[in-house]
Amino acid sequence: MVTPVTFKKSAEVTEETCREAGMTIAELLGRVGGKWTIFVIIMLSEGPRRFSELKRDIEGISQKVLTSTLRDLEKDGFVTRKVTPSIPPRVDYALTELGQDLRGPLMALSSWAVVNRNRVAAAREAFEARQTEEPAKIAYFR
Amino acid sequence: MVTPVTFKKSAEVTEETCREAGMTIAELLGRVGGKWTIFVIIMLSEGPRRFSELKRDIEGISQKVLTSTLRDLEKDGFVTRKVTPSIPPRVDYALTELGQDLRGPLMALSSWAVVNRNRVAAAREAFEARQTEEPAKIAYFR
DNA sequence: CAGCATCCTTCACGATACTG
DNA sequence: CAGTATCGTGAAGGATGCTG
């Protein structure tokens, strides 16, 4: 099974459109490139979650970072924050329509990472090997 | 015109596959999320470039950062580095096949950023507005 | 429970100077 | 030209303690 993802050619990214778009792309990558952002989005892709659920299921994240990550995503309109003023309080987070829309290209990139992990790993080993040997350099002048 | 991009469902990214993939996705986003990485990839998408060309055309980047960005991309196998030991020296950078492959999902995400920039901007303004007002809070208890 | 406040460490990025 | 070396800075992330 194949999930098709399309995007308009008119939105093609070149050196030209890059200047025109200003820092838009870098901004998005900066946001999405946060250490934990992608995991939060993946979690919320499966449905709304409470703060404590996210905290528990995303192993290793601190509550401070989770809070700021969610706040940033809220600012950009990717998630909603619904407070239920009970005791104890309850806060539910969910993806907005904008957040859902982002999933397509983001998951495409994630899938690429998973599918091509071996190629990257191989490239890293090859690079390491190149650095370790370094044979013909001094010998060249003898 | 529409450029279709497809990816296998088998590479779907869920909470499960996320653990299984370890930090792969976060690693890629970390690399690609570097402040200048995307611009370097976009430049090289149009063909091989010399170091000085990249330095000149990517406004604002320092040579130190450009060097390390290119070195990182080389380590992961996204670009090649070809040295011509002339005087003055000449170094050409180009995308590898792996780097070319990455362009698809990366440009899809970039296009999304360009197309949806207004929605994000609107969301930010709405968020700001929400913070500025903050009316029903004390009044609620009177 | 869901945070905010505070302090601390690390590191990406930047500016500058020097070199084969 | 294409780097390396060094120093400085701010922002991101993390640990801990306190609170409505």
Residue in B9, B74, B63 with CA at minimum distance from that of residue B41 = B74
Residue in B84, B15, B9, B86 with CA at minimum distance from that of residue B48 = B84
Quote the pLDDT of residue B98.
98
Nearest DNA or RNA nucleotide to B62 (CA to C1'): C14
Quote the pLDDT of residue A12.
64
pLDDT digits (tens, 9 = 90+) for A40-63: 999 999 999 999 999 999 999 999
Quote the pLDDT of residue B134.
59
Quote the pLDDT of residue A4.
40
Task: Name chain A contacts of B28, Cβ cutoff 8 Å.
Answer: 109-110, 112-113, 120
Nearest to A33 among B18, B30, B111 (CB): B30
Q: What is the β-pairing status of strands B79-84 and B49-50?
A: unpaired
Mean pLDDT to the nearest integer, A4-17: 52
- Per the CB < 8 A criterion, the answer to whether A112 and B102 are in contact is yes
Residue B73 DSSP label: H
Quote the pLDDT of residue B132.
78
Domain spanning A21-133: which CATH class is it, in words? mainly alpha
pLDDT digits (tens, 9 = 90+) for B88-104: 999 999 999 999 999 99
**What 3-state DSSP class applies to B82?**
strand
* Contact: B3, A3; criterion CB under 8 Å: no
Torsion-angle region of A60 (φ positive above 0: left; ψ -120 to 50: alpha; else: beta):
left
For the cut 70, the answer to whether the pLDDT of residue A11 exceeds it is: no
- Per the CB < 8 A criterion, the answer to whether B8 and A112 are in contact is no
Residue in A8, A5, A1 with CA at minimum distance from that of residue A103 = A5
Mean pLDDT to the nearest integer, A22-41: 90
- Check residues A20 and A96 and name the one with the higher pLDDT: A96
Quote the pLDDT of residue B24.
86
Mark the ranges of chain B whose per-residue pLDDT is less than 70. Answer: 1-22, 134-142
Look-up of token digits 């080389």: B74
Distances (CA, A) of A42 to A93, A104, A113: 13, 11, 15
DSSP strand E in chain B: where? 2-8, 49-50, 79-84, 90-95
Beta bridge partners of A49: A93
pLDDT digits (tens, 9 = 90+) for A106-124: 999 999 999 999 999 999 9
Mean pLDDT to the nearest integer, A75-91: 96
Distance from CA of A130 to the nearest CA of B (A): 10
Statement: the CB of A70 is under 7 Å from strand D:
no
Quote the pLDDT of residue A87.
94
Quote the pLDDT of residue A137.
44
- Per the CB < 8 A criterion, the answer to whether B42 and A18 are in contact is yes
Quote the pLDDT of residue B142.
31
Q: How far is the CA of A30 from the C1' of D19 (A)?
A: 33
Nearest to B127 among A3, A32, A74 (CB): A74
- Per the CB < 8 A criterion, the answer to whether B93 and B48 are in contact is yes
DSSP strand E in chain A: where? 2-8, 49-50, 79-84, 90-95
Look-up of token digits 């946001």: A31
Task: Name chain A contacts of B57, Cβ cutoff 8 Å.
Answer: 15
pTM of the model: 0.85
